[in-house]
Structure formats: structure tokens, C-alpha cells
């Protein structure tokens, strides 16, 4: 076997000298390097911002969605949406392990895993698209993928259905980061709170903020209000368009008696919601942008433009033990698990 770079730079075709994620084109030749793992792919969980854009471009037509996805992989060697720049993650079965990793990994051939690195850096081949589940951003395929030596993963647990595990692991970074950021007594706003990552964030925020804190869910419609409030995930539910920053700010002012929020967590999958997040947050507060639709330029220059002194964090899809933390949430809350089984399993 050929010797490979830990971070997969040996796969980069264009431009040379950079890592696989920012690279435009990588090699998806499935001939294994010595430090790679070959995966027989079962399901892709496409990033929400990416899949929303693809569905819009395809007009909701499944054949067109399949065509767009296959074309992305054929062109770039990976599923990195050229519009959003984001990917997703996958589940599959370990098919082969490179010689250099034998004895260095706890994986063995036949293990079922979820990759916890983005499809935007993962060499991928799609032979056939078997099924598309538009409502939950999941696509069953026949294909192969490569996991680099540095790539993180989670073995799929026996006590949680595969599709459910895939759904929550795709956004595991968000609730795990929320657990680190929220303190007792905090007022926390979750924009897009009724979505897949949003509900997990609110669950953790409620735990960490405690009885002296407050968790506010902001959603573009009241369709999920009963689900969120009956489950005790939020203390207040606001219906507003997150792209209308001033209207959102006024709604938050009313809900917080003018004090605004200590922490705002943005989980939406559409662009132009940066300023709603910033204006809803106190000076010296914190904004956590988990959304892949976030523009750093709009956030940075927008905050400057309105004179807001807030700390802004770009959502990292990885934080220590994020997979274990998120899977444990499915075990410790029967109410939350029931919601996710109904929506995503």
C-alpha cells in the first residue's frame, strides 16, 4: 500500500498544498492508502443548509436531487456543496483497514460506524442512490468512502436505531458546545430551536441554565410549538422570521423585559440571520453560530456596524466526547427520544 498523509493531503488534486476540506477537487479513487479506512456506505446525512439548497435548486424533485448530488461527487470527488460549502456525514460498514492502522485503531472489518467528519472532505463514490428522505436530509446509497487516519468516528450503539443515531450524531457538536457555554441563570435564545440541532441545544441549555435561567425558542412558524413546549424544552416560544433582525430584536426585548439574552445559539439553515442573533444578545454576551449558512463577513461587519460588543463563536462540529454526550441524551430523556424517533428515525 502507498503511504498517505495523516490529514489526507495525498488525496488533494486541486489546488495542491492545502487540506482536503478547503480543496476544490480531491481523488475518490477507492484504492486504499496505508493509513486509510475503506467504508461501504449505507446512508448519507446531508448538512441541513446544503440539502435545503439542493432541494430548492431541484424544485423538490427527487430525480433532480439525485442528479445534483451525483454530479457534485463526480466533479469534486466528495460531497461538498459548491453553494454552501458544507457536506454532512455518513454511516456505513468498515470494509478494509490500511496496513499502517492495524493495531492502532479499535475498528475491525465489519464494524458499523458513523463518520464524524464532514462529507466536504471525505473521498466518496456514489454508485447508486437508493432512497431519498427529503424531510430528514438523509439519502440511502450504494457506494464507498474513505476515512483518513485523523478522521473521527463513532461505533453505532446497539440500543439506538441507526437512522436516529445518524441524525443526532450529525449535529452532535451543537449540544455538546451548548453544555460548555451555558451557565446557571443564563437567558438563552435558540434560533431555529424546533429543528434537529435546535431541540438538542435547548435540552442542554435547560439543564445548564437551571430554574433561574430561561430558554427561548425562536421559530419561523408555530407548527412545532406544542411539541417544544409540551416536552419542556423551552420556557418561551417566539414566532418570527430570523432574517428580519429588528423584528426579532423587538420580540426578544419584550420577552426579556429589555435585557436581551446572555447567549444566542443560531441553528437555522438559511442565510442572512446573523444580525438577528447579534441584536438579540446583550453587550458582553455570546453568539454561537452553529449554522453552516452563516457568513463570517456579515456577522463581523454587522456587529461592528451596530456597535455591538458580543463574543461570536463559529460552530465547531467537534468538541471532546460530543458523540457520547449526544447519544446519552437519547438515553436519559424518554420524551426527547420519542420526538426524534418520530421525526428522524
**Nearest Cα residue to 126 out of 42, 33, 3:** 42
The answer to whether the CB of 292 falls within 8 A of the CB of 46 is: no
| Main-chain phi, psi angles of 216, to 5 degrees | -115, 130
Q: If the chain, 345 residues long, is cut into consecutive pieces of 10 residues, what is the mean pLDDT of each piece?
A: 95 96 98 98 93 96 98 98 94 97 94 95 98 94 97 92 88 93 98 95 97 97 96 98 98 98 95 97 97 91 97 88 93 95 86
Instruction: List the CATH code of the domain at 173-344.
Output: 3.40.50.720
**Domain boundaries in the chain?**
9-156, 173-344
Locus of grid cell 453505532: 156
pLDDT in tens, 2-54: 999 999 999 999 999 999 999 999 999 999 999 999 999 999 999 988 999 99
Look up residue 344 and give its three cell numbers. 428522524
Give SS3 for 154.
strand
pLDDT at residue 53 in the model = 95
Using CA atoms, how far residue 132 sits from 18, 48, 64, 128, 129, in Å, is 33, 14, 11, 11, 8
Give SS3 for 204.
helix
pLDDT in tens, 232-278: 999 999 999 999 999 999 999 999 999 999 999 999 988 999 999 99
Where in the chain does DSSP place strands (E)? 12-14, 25-26, 37-46, 88-97, 112-115, 124-133, 138-147, 153-155, 187-191, 214-219, 236-239, 261-266, 281-289, 311-314
Amino acid at each position: 500500500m502507498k503511504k498517505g498523509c495523516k490529514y489526507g493531503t495525498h488525496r488533494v488534486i486541486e489546488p495542491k498544498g492545502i487540506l482536503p476540506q478547503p480543496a476544490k477537487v480531491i481523488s475518490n479513487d477507492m484504492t486504499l492508502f496505508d493509513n486509510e479506512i475503506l467504508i461501504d456506505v449505507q446512508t448519507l446525512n446531508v448538512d441541513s443548509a446544503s440539502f435545503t439548497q439542493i432541494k430548492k435548486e431541484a424544485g423538490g424533485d427527487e430525480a433532480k436531487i439525485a442528479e445534483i448530488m451525483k454530479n457534485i461527487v463526480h466533479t469534486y470527488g466528495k460531497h461538498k456543496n459548491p453553494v454552501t460549502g458544507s457536506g454532512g456525514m455518513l454511516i456505513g460498514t468498515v470494509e478494509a483497514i490500511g496496513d499502517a492502522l492495524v493495531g492502532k485503531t479499535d475498528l475491525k472489518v465489519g464494524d458499523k460506524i458513523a463518520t464524524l467528519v464532514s462529507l466536504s472532505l471525505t473521498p466518496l463514490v456514489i454508485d447508486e442512490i437508493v432512497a431519498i428522505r427529503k424531510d430528514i436530509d438523509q439519502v440511502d446509497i450504494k457506494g464507498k468512502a474513505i476515512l483518513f487516519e485523523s478522521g473521527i468516528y463513532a461505533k453505532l450503539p446497539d440500543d439506538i436505531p441507526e437512522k436516529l443515531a445518524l441524525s443526532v450524531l450529525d449535529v452532535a457538536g451543537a449540544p455538546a458546545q451548548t453544555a460548555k457555554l451555558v451557565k446557571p441563570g443564563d437567558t438563552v435564545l435558540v434560533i431555529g430551536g424546533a429543528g434537529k440541532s435546535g431541540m438538542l441545544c435547548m435540552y442542554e441549555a435547560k439543564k445548564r441554565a437551571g430554574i433561574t435561567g430561561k430558554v427561548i425558542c425562536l421559530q419561523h412558524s408555530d407548527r412545532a410549538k406544542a411539541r417544544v413546549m409540551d416536552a419542556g424544552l423551552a420556557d418561551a416560544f417566539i414566532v418570527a422570521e430570523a432574517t428580519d433582525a429588528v423584528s426579532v430584536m423587538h420580540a426578544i426585548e419584550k420577552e426579556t423585559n429589555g435585557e436581551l439574552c446572555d447567549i444566542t445559539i443560531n441553528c437555522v439553515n438559511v442565510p442572512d440571520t446573523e444580525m438577528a442573533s447579534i441584536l438579540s444578545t446583550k453587550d458582553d454576551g455570546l453568539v454561537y453560530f452553529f449554522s453552516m449558512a452563516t457568513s463570517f463577513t456579515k456577522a463581523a461587519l454587522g456587529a461592528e456596524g451596530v456597535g455591538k460588543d458580543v463574543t461570536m463563536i463559529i460552530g465547531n462540529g467537534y468538541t471532546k466526547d460530543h458523540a457520547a454526550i449526544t447519544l446519552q441524551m437519547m438515553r436519559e430523556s424518554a420524551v426527547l427520544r420519542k420526538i426524534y424517533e418520530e421525526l428522524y428515525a
